Amino acid sequence: MTVAILILAAGSSTRMGTPKQLLPYREHTLLSHTVEVAITSVCHPIIVVLGAYAEQIRPEISQYPIQIIENTRWNQGMSSSIQVGIQALDTVSEKPEAVVITLCDQPFISTQLVNQLVETYFSTEKPIIASEYAGTLGVPALFSSSFFPDLMNLKGAEGAKKVIKNYRNKVFSIPFVEGRVDIDTPEEYKHLQNLIEPNYHCPQGRFVD
């Protein structure tokens, strides 16, 4: 049984003022870092949804063993990228049992976290496994294929969190304290650059400013 991973990277980075997908991070970019996390995880296939800046971003990740999909409706909101990604799963030879949905602006995502989502899904038999941080449940999150229709029915700016909220009684959560760090503005990116690596991964895995 396979679990796919869907990386949403179609946004226009309005608040950043430049494609955040291509911001340098750990000798890579934010997007290529997320792609490499996916490649070293148990998930396959790996689908990356591009939209705004697609032609600029594609060369950055074209060498990876992934499927790149372009969402021409990216300006209609995150729901359109999720829909394009879920539709792409219909075209793969081995239909996935579930999908992990993630973004490219959570710099502390790790292979261990992605694998933990998958392992927890099979061990708990809960159909949704969400990350828990900053008092909320969100992505990266795993959804059983039984929720693909709900993901396809999202509208406008709605994201995967809407499905998590609608089916809270079917959700199992795992802690991802560093998930509260995402990069939307130049200030947030500057803060990320100022972090010293030994300081943000203490033994308990907690994020330390």
Q: What is the percent of the chain with per-residue pLDDT over 90, rounded to a whole number?
A: 88
Residue ranges per structural domain of the chain: 3-200
CATH number for 3-200 (one of 3.90.550.10, 2.40.50.1040, 3.30.300.30, 3.30.420.40): it is 3.90.550.10
Query: Count of CB atoms within 10 A of residue 80's CB?
Result: 21
> Does residue 177 surpass a pLDDT of 80?
yes
Q: For residue 99, count other CB atoms closer than 10 A to its CB.
A: 27
Using alpha carbons only, give the angle 48, 43, 122 rounded to the nearest 5 degrees.
Answer: 135
C-alpha 70, offset from chain centre: 16
Q: Does the pLDDT of residue 186 top 80, yes or no?
A: yes
Mean pLDDT of 197-201: 45
Quick one: average pLDDT of 110-125? 97
> What's the average model confidence in pLDDT over 18-36?
95
For 37-85, the pLDDT digits (tens) are 999 999 999 999 999 999 999 999 999 999 999 999 999 999 999 999 9
